[in-house]
C-alpha cells in the first residue's frame, strides 16, 4: 500500500455521478454503457463509494444486493495511474465494512462478486475465495440486530 497516496484518499459514499461512472468504466477498459443505465444502476444499488485524491475522482466501487443477506461487489475501478497503490483495497474494505454493519442475517453473511480476468489475486489477498463464477467471502458479523 502506498501510504503517501492512501493518506490523501477520501472515500465518499453516494456522490458518484452517472457520467463519471461511465467515464471510469471507459478509462479502465470496461464496456461503455449508456448514461441512463449508469444512472439507474447507481439509483438501484445499495451504496457506492468514490475515491478522491486531492478532489479528483480516481476510483469507485459499488455494493448491490438485497441489503440484508446477500451483498455483491460491482465495478471496483481504479484509474490505471493510481492502481497498485492500495486504493482498490480501501474501496473493497469500505464496502465489506458497510455490508457487515448493515447485515441482519445473524452471525455470518456472504459477500460475492465477479473478478475482472487477471484480478483474482487482488481479491484473494483480501480473504475472498475464487469460485467458478466469481468471488465469495464469508464474514463474521460483530453485532446482532
Q: Picking from 59-63, 91-95, 130-134, which range would have the lowest pLDDT averaged per residue?
A: 130-134
Lookup: cell for 73: 461487489
Check whether 145 has a pLDDT greater than 50. Answer: no
The answer to whether the CB of 92 falls within 8 A of the CB of 42 is: no
Q: What is the pLDDT of residue 29?
A: 92
DSSP symbols for 55-102 = TEEEEEEEEEE-SSSEEEEEEEEE-GGGTTSSHHHHHHHHHHHHHHHH
Whether pTM > 0.75 for this model: the answer is yes
Query: Residue 65 — pLDDT band, cuts 50, 70, 90?
Result: very high
The answer to whether the CB of 77 falls within 8 A of the CB of 60 is: yes
Lookup: cell for 139: 464474514
Instruction: Quick: pLDDT tens for 5-60.
Output: 888 999 999 999 999 999 999 999 999 999 999 999 999 999 999 999 999 999 99
Instruction: Quick: pLDDT tens for 88-101.
Output: 999 999 999 999 99
Q: What is the pLDDT of residue 2?
A: 64
- Residues with Cβ < 8 Å from 44, sequence gap 6 or more? 64
Amino acid at each position: 500500500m502506498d501510504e503517501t497516496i492512501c493518506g490523501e484518499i477520501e472515500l465518499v459514499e453516494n456522490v458518484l455521478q452517472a457520467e463519471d461512472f461511465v467515464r471510469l468504466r471507459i478509462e479502465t477498459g470496461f464496456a461503455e454503457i449508456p448514461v441512463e443505465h449508469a444512472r439507474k444502476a447507481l439509483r438501484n444499488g445499495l451504496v457506492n463509494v468514490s475515491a478522491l485524491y486531492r478532489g479528483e475522482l480516481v476510483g469507485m466501487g459499488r455494493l448491490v444486493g438485497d441489503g440484508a443477506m446477500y451483498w455483491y461487489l460491482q465495478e471496483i475501478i481504479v484509474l490505471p495511474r493510481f492502481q497498485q497503490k492500495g486504493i482498490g483495497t480501501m474501496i473493497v474494505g469500505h464496502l465489506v465494512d458497510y455490508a457487515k454493519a448493515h447485515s441482519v442475517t445473524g452471525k455470518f453473511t456472504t459477500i460475492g462478486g465477479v473478478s475482472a480476468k487477471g484480478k483474482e489475486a487482488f481479491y484473494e489477498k483480501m480473504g475472498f475465495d475464487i469460485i467458478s463464477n466469481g468471488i465469495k467471502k464469508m464474514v463474521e458479523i460483530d453485532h446482532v440486530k
